[in-house]
Chain A
Amino acid sequence: MGFPDRIERVVEIAHPPAKVWAALTTAEGLGSWFGNQATIDLRPGGSAQMTWTGGHTADMRVERVEEPTVFGFTWHIYGLPDDDPRRTYVEFTLVPVGAGTRLTVVETGFAQLPEDAYRKAYDGNTQGWASELGELVDYLDAA
């Protein structure tokens, strides 16, 4: 059947990492392109929240902050009850490419068992993502 544990996307963005970093890690940025409003305490263990005008809210816990290359957080698995401890781990990696940025987003932990919750959702490793991942190049040429 193939239970998907990991989702990844790679996009090339025609802006330098510092600008992409600000869009990913500030309340103003997150509240512009991702949620309709956002708050963030940008430090490992800090809380972040995005809300949408439809009433949906996403609560995140900041896990990795390595400006301007790695930003990671965990959040609740959509659709599971609010008190379920399982969370997925989302990590953005920014690599400068020419004047732009190669942005990778990896979300893992969909296939975890309930008792693994936190450990599997965030294992804090630091291996090089860009080299091992297939790329969806040309994704953003339209811009």
Chain B
Amino acid sequence: MPPDIEAIAEHVFVALADPSRRAILAALASGGPATATDLAGRLPITRQAIAKHLALLAEAGLVTAEPGERRRVRYRLRSAPMQVAQQFLAALARDWDGPLDALRDHLSR
């Protein structure tokens, strides 16, 4: 098993475990790239706390910083790590017990 895929998924789940970071990621997902100031205007989180969370999320590769208008840095959600985390969730969400029960019932009819 590749070790990095596990590390990537862990970054995602750690990020999502914090309600402020979850709110920041959700805001970027729903509204697109935004600056720390934009996010502070939309979320009940101080600009300073948002900047700290964005730095952590950027380091974990979950958002990327890109130059925006008037040299203000805008943050954009990176979907690739989320898709790795989805693989993990897909394994947990896969239900074979239900279909196999249904197969048994089907053959017994």
The reply on B44 being an interface residue by CB < 8 A is: no
Is the CB–CB distance between B92 and A4 below 8 Å?
yes
For chain A, what secondary structure do more than half of its interface residues adopt (helix, strand, loop), or is it mixed?
Answer: loop
Number of contacting residues on A, CB 8 A?
37
Interface membership of B17, Cβ < 8 A: no
Q: Is B91's CB under 8 angstroms from A7's CB?
A: yes
Does A110 contact B96, Cβ atoms closer than 8 Å?
Answer: no
Asked if B9 lies at the interface with its beta carbon under 8 angstroms from chain A, I say yes
Q: Is the CB of B100 within 8 A of A11?
A: yes
Q: Mark A81-106, 1 if CB is under 8 A from B, else 0.
A: 10010100000000000000001010
Q: How far is the CA of A23 from the CA of B106 in the complex (A)?
A: 8
Within 8 A of A (CB), among B44-93: 80, 83, 86-93
Q: Is the CB of A84 within 8 A of B94?
A: no
| CA A105 to CA B105, docked complex, whole Å | 17
Q: A78-B94, A79-B93, A111-B87 are in contact. Are A3 and B104 (CB under 8 A)?
A: no
Footprint of A on B, CB under 8 Å?
Answer: 1-2, 4-6, 9-10, 13, 80, 83, 86-94, 96-97, 99-100, 102-108
Query: 3 shortest A-B CB distances, which residue pairs?
Result: A33-B106, A110-B91, A4-B91
